[in-house]
Amino acid sequence: MSADRIVGLVFAAFAAALMAGAKALPAGIGKQPGAGFFPFWIGVAMLLLAAPLILKTSPEKAKEPIRWSRPALVAGLTLVYLLLWGSGWFALRTVVFLALLLRLLGESWRAGLGVSATLTAAVVLAFQYGLRVSLE
């Protein structure tokens, strides 16, 4: 089985779990969406994005051996980021995480830092200032 198909199946399983979990949350009141609205539709989007990975894999890619070092590093980096959640310094922690992640995936330091700073600023502006939701 190709790496693309494995990743697609993992994302499809996660999407199904997200959609099932979202159904257990309140539906909402009147026209106001409940707590499960966004998780459900994020799960639907993930499932739609996973489908091509599952269904369309080239025979050439299926013959390549799977190199687990990069996925293991990404998983480890993500685990460290999640373990530090709630320790404060959301913006700094997120910029560092994204920059390291992008560097690990082959981006230059300059591009990684630029993208990570821009994305983190957008999230902070949207959640802390737009929605008044604390990210700490």
The beta-carbon contacts of 37-43 under 8 Å, at least 24 apart in sequence, are 42/18, 43/15, 43/16, 43/17, 43/18, 43/19
Name which residue leads in pLDDT, 34 or 121: 121
pLDDT in tens, 49-63: 999 988 885 665 556
Predicted local confidence at residue 112, as pLDDT: 92
> Are both 102 and 60 inside the same structural domain?
no
Residue 80 and residue 60 in one domain? no
What integer best gives the mean pLDDT of the chain? 87
Give me the domain span that covers residue 42.
Answer: 1-65
Same-domain status, 77 and 20? no
Number of domains composing the chain:
2
Residue in 80, 71, 106, 86 with CA at minimum distance from that of residue 96: 80
Residue 31 sits in the same domain as residue 48: yes
pLDDT score at 83: 92
Look at residue 100 and tell me whether its pLDDT is greater than 60: yes
Check residue 79 and give its pLDDT: 94
Domain co-membership, 77 together with 59: no
Report the DSSP pairing between strands 32-33 and 28-29. Answer: antiparallel
Residue 2, pLDDT above cutoff 90? no
